[in-house]
């Protein structure tokens, strides 16, 4: 779509929203059910499209995450929708309520939501955005990524077959289309992607006074405590890191380990990786890097670290010619001896590169994390409750997991989003419903006028004295 076509699509949705009014629970539930049926009907096409776009994407991971995960999220919104839509009573001062005054908050649809979804999870992220927008009673314009053309075309066909363009409109296009999309006067704009692109999106939205939710990324840290079970931590770390070959926004980037446990952690992670993926090239369960450009970028990060003195352990159990293959299967690489001048410690890897850093005290580990921009996710492994609480309390991150990684993505109940450089705002589940709604306060004034009449001039001396007495009584307390 060009800029004019985008404006026309937005205008069409605005007209439909104005003509139909706020949808009731039945209409919203019907839309959610329609979307769940749509996802299930195209399940195998989703698997095939994503695998072709990536060069290989684990079919099992797509079925569990993108298909079943999407349907679970839709159902969670559906099952809780009536409760979320109910007005929330707000307590007023007791004398006013005694005379019949009351107040409430009603969540009403905003209108038309814009959402820009990323290439690393276009189907799941597109459905999650749609679930939140539709549950809140809105219309949706969905900008899909050009880097996954098959999945993006499939998404357009799926939604076109199940929804009128006045309900959901899928937008295809390149960077120019994305820029024009960001300039539209939506009622809210959701963006998931890189910090660099987010700056342009936020600037364009600000020109239209469009509120934004930005879900970005960052260098996600892991602190392994002295009380941690190294084997357990290694198993869970490697499982999370190698899922989608690290191409996930909550994937860990660096692991802080007590100095005396570094080699044990490296050995345990290497063993776990070999156990999970004994082969890489012809292993359908191991996802390829999505594009030649991203593969080349990861290789540059790796070689930069090597040249500057890092020790690299490539986990390639079968000794396959991964670097000579066109499959873009990038092995898990564990890096030790890394230094701040290496790019791998300066950039989000978004791939299977994992730095292991030693620390001598918890304070030192926390200082390393604090020196970095606030990440989207942070992780802690250990069984010491005092240490655990200290880490959870002091690490600033959008979300945190104790004794696992990545699992926060699986729960629609949890608010999701970043802080600082890793994003702003929250969505998913109830938080998404609230983000895509206008929380309108409604005050019902008391029917009787006697109490209100006392607050109108001319004020009696008794009234003036009563107010002075209240001020005098409060003053000693402040």
- Residue appearing with tokens 């945190």: 400
Question: What pLDDT is attached to residue 80?
Answer: 98
Question: What pLDDT is attached to residue 478?
Answer: 82
pLDDT higher than 90, residue 395 = yes
Instruction: Compute how many other C-beta atoms are within 10 angstroms of the C-beta atom of residue 117.
Output: 27
Question: What pLDDT is attached to residue 201?
Answer: 98
Q: What CATH code would you report for 3-216+426-438?
A: 3.40.605.10
Q: How confident is the model at residue 417 (pLDDT cuts 50, 70, 90)?
A: very high
Q: Say what the pTM is.
A: 0.95
* Exposure string over 24-47, b if 16+ CB within 10 A, otherwise e: ebeebbebbeebbebbeebbeebb
Task: Assess whether the region 3-216+426-438 and the region 220-413 belong to the same CATH fold.
Answer: no
The catalytically annotated residue of 107, 167, 169, 215 is 215
Q: What is the average pLDDT score of the chain?
A: 97
The catalytically annotated residue of 107, 169, 249, 333 is 249
pLDDT higher than 90, residue 255 = yes
Q: In the sheet that 353-359 helps form, which strands lie side by side, from edge to edge?
A: 311-315, 332-336, 353-359, 252-258, 220-224, 377-381, 399-402
Residue 133 and residue 170: Cα distance in Å, rounded? 14
Residue 462 and residue 459: Cα distance in Å, rounded? 8
Please compute the mean of the pLDDT values over residues 416-441 and round it to a whole number.
Answer: 97
Active site residue 249: yes
Torsion angle of alpha carbons 238, 240, 246, 251, nearest 10°? Answer: -120
What is the topology classification, in CATH, of domain 220-413?
Aldehyde Dehydrogenase; Chain A, domain 2 (3.40.309)
Cβ–Cβ < 8 Å for 189, 345: no
Enumerate the domain spans of the chain.
Answer: 3-216+426-438, 220-413
Residue 160 and residue 230: Cα distance in Å, rounded? 49
Q: How confident is the model at residue 475 (pLDDT cuts 50, 70, 90)?
A: confident
On the CB side of 395, how many CA atoms lie within 13 Å of its CA?
Answer: 31
pLDDT higher than 90, residue 437 = yes
Q: How confident is the model at residue 1 (pLDDT cuts 50, 70, 90)?
A: confident
């Amino acid at each position: 779509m060009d800029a004019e076509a985008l404006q026309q699509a937005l205008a069409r949705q605005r007209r439909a929203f104005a003509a139909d009014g706020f949808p009731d629970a039945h209409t919203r539930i019907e839309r959610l059910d329609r979307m769940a049926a749509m996802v299930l009907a195209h399940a195998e096409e989703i698997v095939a499209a994503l695998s072709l776009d990536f060069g290989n994407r684990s079919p099992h991971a797509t079925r569990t995450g993108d298909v079943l995960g999407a349907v679970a999220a839709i159902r969670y919104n559906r099952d809780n929708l009536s409760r979320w839509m109910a007005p929330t009573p707000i307590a007023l001062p007791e004398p006013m309520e005694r005379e019949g005054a009351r107040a409430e908050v009603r969540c009403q649809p905003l209108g038309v939501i814009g959402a820009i979804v990323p290439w690393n999870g276009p189907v799941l992220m597109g459905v999650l955005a749609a679930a939140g927008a539709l549950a809140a009673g809105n219309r949706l314009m969905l900008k899909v990524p050009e880097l996954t053309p098959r999945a993006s075309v499939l998404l357009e066909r799926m939604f076109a077959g199940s929804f009128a363009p006045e309900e959901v409109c899928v937008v295809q296009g390149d960077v120019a289309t994305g820029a024009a999309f960001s300039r539209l006067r939506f009622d809210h704009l959701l963006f998931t992607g890189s910090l660099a692109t987010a700056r342009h999106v936020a600037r364009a939205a600000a020109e239209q006074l469009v509120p934004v939710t930005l879900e970005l990324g960052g260098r996600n840290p892991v602190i392994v405590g002295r009380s941690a079970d190294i084997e357990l931590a290694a198993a869970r770390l490697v499982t999370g890191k190698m899922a989608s070959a690290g191409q996930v926004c909550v994937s860990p980037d660096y692991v802080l380990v007590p100095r005396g446990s570094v080699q044990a952690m490296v050995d345990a992670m290497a063993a776990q990786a070999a156990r999970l993926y004994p082969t890489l090239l012809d292993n359908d369960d191991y996802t390829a890097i999505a594009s030649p450009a991203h593969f080349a970028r990861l290789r540059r990060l790796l070689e930069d670290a090597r040249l500057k003195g890092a020790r690299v352990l490539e986990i390639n159990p079968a000794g396959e010619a991964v670097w000579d293959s066109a499959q873009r299967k990038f092995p898990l690489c564990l890096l030790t001896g890394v230094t701040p001048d290496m790019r791998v410690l300066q950039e989000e890897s978004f791939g299977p590169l994992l730095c292991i850093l030693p620390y001598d005290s918890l304070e030192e580990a926390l200082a390393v994390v604090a020196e970095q921009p606030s990440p989207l996710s942070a992780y802690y492994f250990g069984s010491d409750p005092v240490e655990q609480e200290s880490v959870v309390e002091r690490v600033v991150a959008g979300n945190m997991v104790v004794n696992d990684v990545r699992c926060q993505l699986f729960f629609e109940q949890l608010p999701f989003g970043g802080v600082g450089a890793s994003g702003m705002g929250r969505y998913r589940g109830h938080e998404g419903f609230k983000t895509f709604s206008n929380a309108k306060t409604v005050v019902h004034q008391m029917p009787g006028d006697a109490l209100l009449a006392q607050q109108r001039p001319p004020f009696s001396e008794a009234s003036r004295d009563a107010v002075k007495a209240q001020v005098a009584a409060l003053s000693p307390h402040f």
